[in-house]
Amino acid sequence: MVVGRAAGRDPRLYFLVAREPIQADNVGTARGYAYIAAMLGLYGTAAFLVNGVWFAAFALVPHCFQLLPLRRAVAAVVVVNLLPLATVLIDQHESAEMVPGLIATGVLTTTFALFIGYWIERIIVQSRERADLIDRLEASQAEVARLSHAAGVAAERDRLAAEIHDTLAQGFLTILMLLQASERRLDPDDPIRETIFMPAIRAARENLAEARALIAARPPVALDAAPVPEALRHLTRTFGEETGVTASYEIDGTPRTLAPDLDVVLLRAAQEALTNVRKHAAATTVTVRLAYEDASVRLTVTDDGTGFSPETAADPDAATGEHFGLVGLRRRAARHDGTVTMTSGDASGGGTTVTVELPG
């Protein structure tokens, strides 16, 4: 009563004293018990001082059911309703003839309070059950959405695998068979055999293996045989042997194991950069450098050939099919929060540097 009057004058007292303890997470806790005990103490004191405190029970009863387990809440409600009657009997304020009426009133109010309290308890339980049901439904919907997405991805992967098998893989196989048949017709000492046919056969065989790896959803073939530092070393050496370009490979820092997806990005980036050097740069030297930083890994491919416009090559809107690989490289790196930068001189020379940096 004292708290109620004070809170009526200053609402801040409610937030300081009552609001926090009656939160749902205090059900059955020491804090909840302490709050009910304090309220019962204040209520009992007020009952001894003033006869007309019955109305306060309507405020205390819901708190009992809100903060206490059901059986203890029932006991607390009985105490709340019988405290005023006990004070009347002890203090002898009323005549003996009125005592039966007071007892009947106490029993009726207690029964009514228990009925209302049980009803409130059922509402609370049903609300929690509904909230739990809603949570489970939302979780089920999220799981259905995830499974639907996974099924869509799997279906698209199967479709692409079938397309790759029927087009690229079969095409590489045909090219490989034709090259091998033509190579067998050459004189063993013919220089064209080693300079053109054998590199072409090797490239067709490797790309056929890559196509089959894509169909089987496996990592690139080069990463099956060796970790990414060694795969890049082999790629650089093979590039130099096939093109006659002076190709060097460097590693800075201590190599460490990266996520498989990052290995794929680094390998594909080196392959794309070296392909562009082969097709466009007319370079005499190329350097592939892999640097391990504290929180990132950086791949740099530098050549001394003719330059190009990095803005045009890196712009998806302006890119033509000729630069599609560089656009795809930038998108592939962006999926892993990485960056791709390209610096180049003009078409008269100056060389080109492609840098891919990934967190990891």
* pLDDT tens digits, 55-66: 777 778 778 877
Give percent of the chain above pLDDT 70.
79
Q: Report pTM.
A: 0.49
- Counted domains in the chain: 2
Beta strands in 196-338 (DSSP E): 246-252, 285-292, 296-303
Inside any domain, residue 200: no
Looking at the fold, whether 11 and 116 belong to one and the same domain comes out as yes
Q: Name the 3-class secondary structure at 340.
A: strand
Inside any domain, residue 194: no
Looking at the fold, whether 130 and 260 belong to one and the same domain comes out as no
Inside any domain, residue 195: no
Q: Is the pLDDT of residue 204 over 90?
A: no
Looking at the fold, whether 10 and 120 belong to one and the same domain comes out as yes
- Which pLDDT tens digit goes with each residue over 216-259? 666 666 676 678 999 999 999 988 988 889 999 999 999 998 88
d(CA 347, CA 342): 15
Q: Long-range contacts made by residues 144-148, C-beta under 8 angstroms, separation at least 24?
A: none
Looking at the fold, whether 249 and 350 belong to one and the same domain comes out as yes
d(CA 227, CA 233): 10
Question: What is the pLDDT, as a whole number, of residue 3?
Answer: 46
Looking at the fold, whether 233 and 130 belong to one and the same domain comes out as no
Looking at the fold, whether 11 and 126 belong to one and the same domain comes out as yes
The domain boundary, picked from 115, 140, 165, lies at 140
Q: Taking every pair of C-alpha atoms in the chain, what is the biggest distance, in angstroms?
A: 133
Looking at the fold, whether 120 and 248 belong to one and the same domain comes out as no
Question: What is the pLDDT, as a whole number, of residue 130?
Answer: 92
Residue range 73-88: mean pLDDT, rounded:
79
Inside any domain, residue 104: yes
The domain boundary, picked from 100, 117, 140, lies at 140
More confident residue, 178 or 340: 340
Inside any domain, residue 34: yes
Inside any domain, residue 174: no
Inside any domain, residue 64: yes
The domain boundary, picked from 140, 165, 197, lies at 140
Structure-token match 């819901």, residue found: 62
Q: Which domain holds residue 39?
A: 2-140
Looking at the fold, whether 230 and 359 belong to one and the same domain comes out as yes
Residue of 313, 333, 308 whose CA lies nearest to 325: 313
Residue range 124-130: mean pLDDT, rounded:
85
**Sign (positive/negative) of CA torsion 62, 66, 71, 75?**
negative
Inside any domain, residue 8: yes
